[in-house]
A and B are shown apart, each in its own frame.
Chain A
Amino acid sequence: MRVLTFVLALWVSLLAHADDAARAKQNYQLNCMGCHAEDGKGLEGQVPSLHDTLSKISSAPQGRDYVLRVPGVTQSLLSPAEVAEVLNWAILQFSDVEVAKQVKPFTAAEVAKARSQPLLEISTTRAKVLRETP
């Protein structure tokens, strides 16, 4: 009976995980890919690529604060929980798997707190964060 319970729990967990990922992808497509592109590579010189830099920036406190205060997040129509889910999905999607696993997942509370203070100096802050993050 315990084996059956375990298998059922695993099954439900796998299905829920797949559903969360599908919802995050859909929200990315509807709210982010217009600028960051379907493959997350953005547009050189105009829209930052999410590949590798998103996980790097999200691994340090000042970087997490930056990510959650850019226009795409502060002006998004998504809820804080949905923003957190999309960001966590994008980190896994557009980064090296081992690097992505080291990044602490974003939470709804973290998003709600930071996005209430929009960032004005986007490019200079981003350059500073990248320069100071190992």
Chain B
Amino acid sequence: MDRYDSLVERWSRALAQSSSRRSVLRRLGTLLVGAAALPLLPVARGQAVVKEQGDPATCEYWRYCAIDGFLCACCGGSVTTCPPGTEAAPITWVGTCRNATDGKEYIVSYNDCCGKSSCGRCLCNRNEGDRPLYRPQAANDYNWCVGSKANIPYHCTVSRIVGVADKKA
């Protein structure tokens, strides 16, 4: 009988400890604060792999929706790297493109590669979001190589994803 009493007592205490009002509040609080703090953790979300389809050597490739220039993927470089002998201008044209594979809008930085004369292959002029030159912050007709150390000669353009445009104004 003592063993039975002891067993029931332990079970009752365990139940009381795990189901009290304070305990519920404590657990709920932990869950809510934890869930809220999760997005603040310093995780390198920008490095996430983007699922995509298409050929970066063609103008139809989704990242090129706002581009105006020669594709570096056709000029000895890649969609994100400049060809040998050129360097990326730090001042860029930035736009957004929709990735049909995952349905998300991505922020794309179009960096001109500079230091050699024009590549001349795969001219791509899609210009989504482009504005006239009297709207300089939103116009992509500038030669951004003016700002690079390699100076003015423009060769081609790369398309680098810098984020996801998922916040409404």
A: residues with CB less than 8 A from B are 3-4, 7-8, 10-11, 14-15, 18-19, 22-23, 25-27, 29-31, 33-35, 37-38, 43, 46-47, 71-72, 75-79, 82
The listed residue (B136, B165, B166) touching A30 by CB distance below 8 A is B165
Within 8 A of A (CB), among B90-114: 90-94, 96, 107, 109
Does B28 lie within 8 Å of A4, measured CB to CB? yes
Does B167 lie within 8 Å of A43, measured CB to CB? no
Q: Which chain B positions have C-beta within 8 A of A78?
A: 169
Q: Do A30 and B91 form a contact, CB below 8 Å, given A11-B32, A75-B137?
A: no
B135 to chain A minimum Cβ distance, whole angstroms, is 7
For the complex, what is the distance from the CA of A79 to the CA of B169, rounded to whole Å? Answer: 9
Chain A residue at smallest Cβ distance from B137:
A75
Residue B14, interface by CB 8 Å:
no
Chain A residue at smallest Cβ distance from B148:
A43
Chain B residue at smallest Cβ distance from A25:
B163
For the complex, what is the distance from the CA of A27 to the CA of B169, rounded to whole Å? Answer: 8
Interface size on B, residues (CB 8 A): 30
Does A26 lie within 8 Å of B167, measured CB to CB? yes
Does A76 lie within 8 Å of B36, measured CB to CB? no
Q: Which chain A positions have C-beta within 8 A of B137?
A: 31, 34, 72, 75-77
Residue B42, interface by CB 8 Å:
no
Does B33 lie within 8 Å of A11, measured CB to CB? yes
Q: Which of B25, B36, B135, B136 has the most CB of A within 10 A?
A: B36
For the complex, what is the distance from the CA of A4 to the CA of B167, rounded to whole Å? Answer: 29
Does A33 lie within 8 Å of B162, measured CB to CB? yes
Q: Which chain A positions have C-beta within 8 A of B35?
A: 11
Does A34 lie within 8 Å of B28, measured CB to CB? no
Residue B40, interface by CB 8 Å:
yes
Does B167 lie within 8 Å of A77, measured CB to CB? no
Does B25 lie within 8 Å of A3, measured CB to CB? yes
Does A34 lie within 8 Å of B94, measured CB to CB? yes
Q: Which of A7, A31, A43, A78 has the most CB of B within 10 A?
A: A7
B10 to chain A minimum Cβ distance, whole angstroms, is 29
A76 to chain B minimum Cβ distance, whole angstroms, is 6
Q: Which chain B positions have C-beta within 8 A of A30?
A: 94, 96, 107, 165
Does A34 lie within 8 Å of B92, measured CB to CB? yes
Does A35 lie within 8 Å of B28, measured CB to CB? no
Residue B29, interface by CB 8 Å:
yes
For the complex, what is the distance from the CA of A47 to the CA of B39, rounded to whole Å? Answer: 32
For the complex, what is the distance from the CA of A11 to the CA of B40, rounded to whole Å? Answer: 12
For the complex, what is the distance from the CA of A20 to the CA of B94, rounded to whole Å? Answer: 21
Does A43 lie within 8 Å of B94, measured CB to CB? no
Q: Which chain B positions have C-beta within 8 A of A8?
A: 32
Q: Do A22 and B167 form a contact, CB below 8 Å, given A10-B36, A75-B135, A75-B137?
A: yes
For the complex, what is the distance from the CA of A33 to the CA of B162, rounded to whole Å? Answer: 10
